[in-house]
Structures are given as C-alpha cells and as structure tokens.
Amino acid sequence: MQPGNYAVDADRKINWKVFQIIWPYMLEYKTRIGIALACLVLSKAASVTGPFLLKYIVDGLGMDSSSGLPAESLLVVPVALIIAYGFARLSMILLGEIRDTVFGRVTERALRRIGLQVFKHVHGLDLDFHLNRRTGGLSRDIDRGTNGISFLMRFFVFNIAPTLIEITLVIGLLFYNYGIAFAAITMSSVVLYILFSMVTTDWRTQFVREAAKADSQASTISIDSLLNYETVKYFTNEDYEANRYDVALKTWEKARRKNRLSLLSLNAGQALIITVAMTAMMWLAAQRVTEGTMTIGDFVLINAFMMQLFIPLNFLGFVYREIKGSMANIENMFALMELSSGVKNVSNAPDLEITKGAISFNKVSFHYRPDRPIVKDLSFEIRAGEKVAIVGASGAGKSTLVKLLFRFYDPSQGSILIDGQDISQVSQHSLRQMIGIVPQDTVLFNQSIFENIRYGNPEASDAEVLQAIKLAHLQSFIAELPDGAETVVGERGLKLSGGEKQRVAIARTILKRPPILVFDEATSSLDSKSERSILSALQEISQGHTSMVIAHRLSTIVDADRIVVMDHGCIVEQGSHRELLAKKARYFELWTAQLRDQT
C-alpha cells in the first residue's frame, strides 16, 4: 500500500484486526478503562429506567378523586417520580461525561504513542523512500490514521456498542411487559434500519472515496507548489499552478455534490423506516389503551423507548461509513510501519570509534538501477587530517560518494572503512554523529537564525552558539538584521541569500564539532566575494580534521592535499594541483575549460 493512497474500497469489509493493533497502546491505563466501562453500564441503566419513571408519572397524574385519597396525597407520588426521573436523566448525562473524561486520557496517550512511533519510523526509512514520497500525501496518511484511531475509540467503544446493548435491553423489556408484537416491530424496524444504512452507505462510499482522493490530490498540489514558491515565481507560473489546483478542486466539488445527493437518499430512507415503525407502535399502543389493557403511561413509555432507540441510530450510516474509512486509514498508516528501510543496522551494531579519522573506499560500485551504474570499482584513501577534493564533470558520481559515506545507500559492491571499521557494520547514528557536512543546498527550519545554528548540537549552550557564529564570520551579517540572531529565516530559509545560508550551515557544523568534514559543492552558487569569505571560514574549521571536498569550481581546491578526478563513475587520475596540471590529462582539460569560461 503506497503512502498517500486514501481509497476506501466500497466492498471492503471491516477489518477487526485493527483493534488488535490499537489495544496494546490502551493497556497502560487499565484502571481508567474499568472506571469508564462502569460509568457506561450505569449510564445505560439510568437511560432504560427513565421511560419507566415517565410512565409512572403519567399514570400518577391520571389518578382521580374516585380513589378516595385527598388531593395532597395524590401529588406526592408524581412529584417523587418527577424528581426520580430528573435524577435518572442527570445521572445518565453526568455518567456519560465522566466516562468520556476518564477515557479521554487513555485516547490521548495512545494517540501520542502511536503518532510518535510512526514519526520515528518514517524518519528511520532510507533516503530512497523520502525522495519518492509526496510530502502532502504522507502527512495526510498520518493525520487520517491518528484521527481514525480517535474516531474508533470515541464512537465505536462508547456509542455503537452501548446502543446495541440498549436495543437488546429495550426489546427484552417490551417483550416481557407488552408481548411479542411490540418486540417484533421494534426488532424488525431496527434490523431493517441497520441493513438499509449499511447497504446504502456501501453504495455511497464510492463518492466519499472520490472526494477523499480529490482532496488529497489538491492538498499535494498546494503543498508542492507552496514549497517551491521561488521556482513558481522564477517562471511566472502562478496562473498555471492556480489552474492545476482548480482542476483538483473541481473534481473534489463534483464528488462532494454526488456525496451530498446520496446522503439525501440515505437520510430519506432512514426517516421513512423510523416513521413507519413509530406509527405502527403508536397505533398498536393506542388500540391497547382504548381496550383498557394498557395505560396512558404505557403509551408514553413505548413512545419514549422508540425515540430513545432511533435518535442514536440516526447517526448509524455516518458512523458505519466512518468506521470503515477509519479502519482503512489506520491500515494505511500502519502500512507505513511495515515499510522497511533498505539500509539497516546489523544486529547489535557497535558505535563507530574514531581514533584518527582515516577514510578508505575499497572497490566501491553503486547503481540506482542495474542498467545505469553510477560508481564503478572505485578505490582511494583519505588519510587522517588530510584534505582530499573530488572533482569531475556533472554526473561523474561525486555527490553519490557523500551519500554512500553517510550511508544513505549501501554500495552494490565493495566497502567503505573509517579507521578500519566497515561503516555497514556500525550503527548509522554513531556514523553520522562523526561526520559534519556543509551541503550545496542548505535547508533551514522556519525558526530563528540562532535556533537554526543550535540545530547542529541541540544541547549546546548559548555561549557555544555565539562562538560558532563568530567562527563562521556571521557577526556582521547578524548585526545588520533588525532582530539580530532572533530573525526568523522563513520556510526553508527563503529570507536568506545563498551565501548567508551557507554561513549558517558552517556555524552548524562548527557547533557539531565532528572529526570528519564533508563539503559538497559548498560554494558553487556563490559570487566571488561570498566565495572568498566562505572559503576562508572553511579553511579555518577544517584544520586538523579529515576533509572530503566535492568541488565544481577548481579554483576552490587548489590547496587540497590531493585531488581525485572522476569521470563516468571511475577515478581517472589523482594527485596535487601542480602534479595534475603537469600531466596535462583530464584535470588539465577541466582547469583550462574553467579558465576559458572565466575569461
């Protein structure tokens, strides 16, 4: 099941196994569940008692003076019954509120635990999943799944099941007190009502499915468009995006109209069944009253029972559809939990231990698809404290090496070692803790500059963050801002320039203090002035660290200890800047071409 698939199959049966998934999360509060169930039973007892008290009140008020009792005595019984009736109604309401309040803690805690588990699991999935997922669709999957759990807990456990219990009690009481005719009419009308609601709801589900699908598509389009706000503006495609969104909304509008008309059919059919049943019961009760076999109080009791039964049943169509939809959405969400990462830790993986920081690529090959190799039998070393640059034309496989080093992917063949430890045999968390990166495209959170820098080490003190700002040469830029370091950077750092975001990335890495540094084309999008400033900062923070630099501009890596030249996934030559120029091979061609372009 793919994330973002919200289709609720019209023929899909209710999967009761969903409760087996949810139940373990609820068991933390067994006492609360017990109290809630006790309140439920007492509330239903009060609910069934109410119509009987109403019957006695009416019969009491119908007594006349022929009974031989004084008028004052005649009023005592009805007044007492009225008070008892009021107490029963109040008890029913209060016990229901207490039940919901007590059980609310169970629901909230279960939702919290499930939501957190799904969030952590999605973060644990590999890069390939996140590159192919739709942010809007995935978000809706999780939201609808948690909302579905909330609905099941609230409506099924404390609305549907109690209503069915009450129906059984009422049918039994009618049969015991008034005979099989009343019980048969009640049972047949309730069964017909439930069957009609279920069949009609199944028919309506296709329209609900279409509306949900259109809603998800519209949400995905809007989120996609807003996340890429700059691109939309660059190409002046506001009208194009609005038209795409409107097409999705138009589909949603049509589905909603069909849904509304089908709801009219459902409500009309339910109203007809209720009306016929109520009329038949009242007709039968009225005949018994005229025959003298029943009292006016009995007539009122039967009417009260019928009203009491059909009011909650009136929501059955909605609740039945929502239960099916909720279970499908819960299954969709838990389908995410069944997805496994293609990059996994070995059992009891130890932490990576850094002694020197030496990196070794041993006959590494990698492909996204078997028919398109990206890296081919690549071998080279980065000695402890050494700065090695990786250069080559676009598509040579340079940035793929960074993904392999961070173990976002595993090599198809070969191995990567850090201080002699195969990175596939150590925990991913410890591996990534030891590597700091200044990426080509720095993505910032919609928070202040200060908090974005602190993200490099959430436990860092304010003084340590300020020191990182100083080392990244950010003080003068921050001083010019109205709110200083508390300036909010906007969605994905939209309010900052490329150079400013790069400096924030450098400050983050400084705060992390990793023994290994990676610079992935960190200056490729900067002007000459910003580039010189950032290069100076990079040279400062990389001293004494093992550094791997992915470079497009060759002028930025002339001071590297060694330069590895890649072409179509292979290493074609290695050496210092001077040595490679002297060879007049591939590096010399790249250098000459860039000089020519600059000229």
Q: pLDDT tens, 311-357? A: 777 776 667 767 777 777 777 777 777 777 778 888 888 999 988 88
Contacts of 240 (CB under 8 A, 6+ apart): none
Contact 138, 122 (CB under 8 A): yes
Q: What's the average model confidence in pLDDT over 136-154?
A: 73
pLDDT, tens digit, 9 for 90 and up, residues 24-44: 777 777 888 888 888 888 887
* Inter-residue contact 12 to 328 (CB < 8 Å): yes
Please name the helix (run of DSSP H) or strand (run of DSSP E) that holds residue 198, with its range, or none: helix 180-227
The pLDDT value recorded for residue 360 is: 93
> Is the per-residue pLDDT at 525 higher than 70?
no
Does 206 score more than 60 pLDDT? yes
Average pLDDT value over all residues in the chain:
80
d(CA 366, CA 403): 11
pLDDT for residue 414: 92
Average pLDDT of the residues in 274-281: 88
Question: What is residue 78's predicted lDDT score, i.e. its pLDDT?
Answer: 65
Q: Specify the pTM.
A: 0.63
What are the φ/ψ torsions at residue 8 (nearest 5 degrees)?
A: -105, 105
Q: Across 159-163, 312-316, 355-359, 486-490, which has the greatest mean pLDDT?
A: 355-359
- 405 pLDDT band, cuts 50/70/90, is very high
Which is higher by pLDDT, 493 or 556? 556
Instruction: Say which range, 220-224, 419-423, 424-428, 538-542, has the weakest mean pLDDT.
Output: 538-542
Residue 6 has what pLDDT? 37
Res. 571: pLDDT tops 80: yes
Residue 2: pLDDT above 70?
no
User: Is the distance from CB of 391 to CB of 398 less than 8 angstroms?
Assistant: yes
Element (H, E) at 261: helix 238-291
Average pLDDT rounded to a whole number, residues 349-377: 89
- pLDDT at 76 (0 to 100): 55
Distance between CA 350 and CA 407 in Å, rounded? 15
Where do we find the tokens 């930025």? 556
Task: Please indicate whether the domains covering 17-338 and 343-434+514-599 agree at the CATH topology level.
Answer: no
- pLDDT for residue 421: 92
pLDDT band at 18 (very low <50, low <70, confident <90, very high): low
Q: With 70 as the cut, is the pLDDT of residue 398 above it?
A: yes
> What would the pLDDT profile of 419-478 be if each residue is shown by its tens digit?
999 999 999 889 988 998 888 777 788 888 898 889 888 888 999 999 888 888 788 888
The answer on pLDDT for 416 being more than 90 is yes
Radius of gyration of the chain (CA): 36
- Residue for token pair 């201080």: 419
CA 182 from chain centre, in angstroms, equals 50
Q: At what angle do helices 238-291 and 296-313 cross, to 10 degrees?
A: 160
Q: Tell me what pLDDT residue 68 has.
A: 47
Q: Which residue has the higher pLDDT, 532 or 421?
A: 421
Which of 152-156, 163-167, 316-320 shows the lowest per-residue confidence on average (mean pLDDT)? 316-320
- Torsions phi, psi for 548 (to 5 deg): -120, 120
**Separation CA 186–CA 181 (nearest Å):** 9
Closest CA to 119 of 149, 139, 105: 139
**Distance (Å, rounded) from C-alpha 145 to C-alpha 325?**
10
List the CATH code of the domain at 17-338.
1.20.1560.10
**Does the pLDDT value for residue 540 go beyond 90?**
no
Q: What is the mean pLDDT of residues 163-178?
A: 83
Question: Is the per-residue pLDDT at 9 higher than 60?
Answer: no
Least confident of 70-79, 240-249, 491-500: 70-79
pLDDT (mean) for 276-290: 88
Domain ranges of the chain: 17-338, 343-434+514-599, 444-511
Match 């609905």 to its residue by tokens: 151
pLDDT for 494 equals 64
For domain 343-434+514-599, which architecture applies? 3-Layer(aba) Sandwich (3.40)
H helices, E strands: number in the chain: 20, 10
3-state secondary structure of 27: helix
Q: What string of DSSP letters covers 377-420?
A: EEEEEE-TT-EEEEEESTTSSHHHHHHHHTTSS--SEEEEEETT
% residues pLDDT > 70 (the chain):
86
